[in-house]
Amino acid sequence: MTGNICIIGSGHTKFGRLDKSLEHLIVAATREAVEEAGIAPKDIDAVFLGHFNSGLVADGFASSLIHQAYPELRFAPATRIENACASGSAAIHAGINNLKAGRARTVLVVGVEKMTHRATEDVTTALAGAGYQNDGAERNLSFPQVFGLAARKYTDCYGSPLDAMARITVKNHDNAMHNPLAHMQRRFTLEEASQITKKNPEIAPPLRLTDCSLVTDGAAAVVLTTEENAAGFAKVARFRAAVHVSDFLPMSTRDFLAFEGPERALHMAYDEARVSLGDLQFAEVHDCFTIAELLTYEAMGLTPKGQGSRALEEGIVYRDGTLPVNLSGGLKAKGHPVGATGVSMHAMSYRQLTGQAGGTQKADASMGLVFNMGGSAVANYVSILETQRV
């Protein structure tokens, strides 16, 4: 159990191709979160930074850059957390554990990545560092190729997922049109997302460019505190569950298509929170590639295995559906600054639950789910958050 830990404030920069330094992004997200919470910087007992890096920037020791936001943060213990694309959620878990251990009363968690200043080839190589390096075949796979393999295996087992994947692209880009913080606010027609063209080439067959999330710069932040302390704050979301499941790193040791790590984490979270899918009003899930979102529908229990397309066909996961998925636009359209992604998901969900989500707001949302994944379903983090009535 989370020990009743709460979010009391959030910060979120614009995601995109930004002419801002890593330090600037960290400071901007920090200040917004602290100001939104209405907390004095001196009352923050510890800070945690989610940051993948993998050689993307020269800042190998970035945790104390958070201190640059306020002089009062000087001497607060600062720690950088890395767990591939789930680095942000890993940093949140570090903050939660610090609070549960009684080492702090209030902590600040920031997630950040600066990626767009590097060539696509450099970014691809950096991200591939999150794969298994002690096997020549796996070491040479980019992550588009990894998820391309998943899509091909899905085709062999269940039939082609390409139409469903294109529909996920259309859905998430439509959602991003309502999110001013999203990297790409551009709609796609189903035809544009489905067809292979010069503007939409195959990246890693059968994945098309429109099936891939965006290389992005950005930062997000949340202020965490104990439920007892949260009683004094105006806008509060409480963790009903916070689960972390890690699987084997080598893909050769497991059936990637089975998505066992995500499925186990999701169902452990339902049990910990004592809820079912029917209790949730929205979900933010890790759509690094559209096939990943499709597999997540099945891991969540929205549909049986091999029938993820039904969640789209029946309208379940759309804005006006019973369980909208990625109202923010997801990684696909909001963007995927790796270390920031998990924190962004929690910040966006906090804003949903406290009525601060603007154009993406779902009316009367009181409980939501976050699923953030690192690598090829290796590090799997699931949170269930609910509105805390004060």
Identify any residues that bridge with 238 across adjacent strands, giving them in sequence order: 6, 386
**With the C-alpha atoms ordered 347, 324, 273, 81, is the resulting torsion angle positive or negative?**
negative
Active-site residue identified among 6, 85, 212, 288: 85
CA angle 347, 290, 90 (to 5 degrees): 35
Q: What is the DSSP string of 329-389?
A: -HHHHT---HHHHHHHHHHHHHHHHTT--GGGPPTT--EEEEEEEETTTTEEEEEEEEE--
**With the C-alpha atoms ordered 60, 119, 217, 369, is the resulting torsion angle positive or negative?**
negative
Structure tokens at 234: 């105006």
Q: What is the DSSP letter of 315?
A: T
Helix (H, G, I), strand (E, B) or coil at 108: strand
Residues 192 and 220 sit within 8 Å (Cβ to Cβ): no
Burial-class residue 168 by CB neighbours within 10 Å (0-12, 13-18, 19+).
buried
Structural element, H or E, at residue 11: strand 5-12
Structure tokens at 202: 């195959």
Q: Does the annotation count 336 as an active-site position?
A: yes
**With the C-alpha atoms ordered 80, 263, 217, 203, is the resulting torsion angle positive or negative?**
positive
Half-sphere exposure of 381 (CA within 13 A, CB side): 29
Residue type, position 84, single letter: A
Which residues, in sequence order, are CB contacts of 299 under 8 Å at separation 6+? 259, 262, 263, 266
Q: Does the annotation count 85 as an active-site position?
A: yes
Residues 367 and 280 sit within 8 Å (Cβ to Cβ): yes
Query: Residue 25, Cα to own-chain centre: how many angstroms?
Result: 17
Annotated catalytic residues are 85, 336
